Structure 1
């Protein structure tokens, strides 16, 4: 057998060594590759997907409302202001310290008041709203039928409020109102008046059961609930001065 030169033998040995090293590295790398793949598989054998970025925004840190430290923006006012109505007008507050004297005997009113009331009753019961016109003191001091500016024609205005074209509904309301008990207010002042119904001057929270029945002959139970929330009676009321002038027939606060 021929002897290989020393240089040739060295080249062969080096080649075998490099081939062995490469083969060993492949064998060592194979288990690691298998382990890495198993890490990407779930228990069902399906390849897991890398975690996706969440579409939800990061949780925000609540702003300090200043309630604990006294710093920061002030809290907003409540949506419902118990002291005012929706229109911004101060709600009527009943004075429970001054009981209202309800008068049911019309004979206790002055003769001019009794006479005007009688004329109003007769006109309302007739079904002809025009019969109210001469009772309304036509002119600069005519009977007030609106809250605020005076109506140019009070009869036409009342017709516009009625559920029918002839104003019959308003006449019925007028008759119901003036058939209740009444109160005498403003004694000794320029605003002295006899006012129907007495609910206009009485605390609704102190009504007796019979008085509630009388009120519900004029308004509905829903209206009564709204009045309690509002703070007072706000349906139609009638005012007659001691000298017999029909001062107002208005609804509202």
Structure 2
């Protein structure tokens, strides 16, 4: 571990907090291509559209972002809103390495992928540099590949929910606060039971998502499926706690320990 590099990225992220700009053009962090037909691949972007304003007119920049995709191994699976006790392979045939971060320094100087023990990408992070101007959307490029839907299943679509933390200040995990505290903007689930849960009275609409739709021409539903079922895949609490922190050269830089 190079201590100088660690110090540099922390100082770089911290320095970006003092730069102000106008109000943001979009209120959420989302994929700009949120729906793909199974088996297709696109150059996608995670769009950061919210600043860290503490009050009207204060456009402090987002200084980093952390993204977590469901790993598929211990993910929560819902079928038409009801828990599914089986495996993700009941619905997807080749899920496991469907996201790839594209190196781009337009907004952040440092970035890397997060991987599971098999090398599959389970998320990514970016930070340092100038950060995101408060009056503009920022696109972080990522290649997304839609897995194929299991032909014998009745899935008409599979929605992958994506946990996102846009960082406003570098703090400890006990000091993350809520959206109103402006230490971090959480686009996450409301009730996973993690320190990264979104604190909101609204419906559980925080996470971004990638919707994979069935190719009904080449992979038709069986007659017994009727109109088919909608499947949702969420990261587990254990995965969120494991993959949300940002680690640089083996050391955790956010949240600080």
Whether these two folds match at TM > 0.5 is no
Q: Under TM normalisation by the shorter chain, which class is it?
A: under 0.3
- Who wins on radius of gyration, i.e. which is larger? 1
Structure number with greater CO (CA < 8 Å, separation at least 6) is: 2
TM normalised by structure 2 equals 0.23
Of Structure 1 and Structure 2, the greater helix share is in 1
Of Structure 1 and Structure 2, the greater strand share is in 2
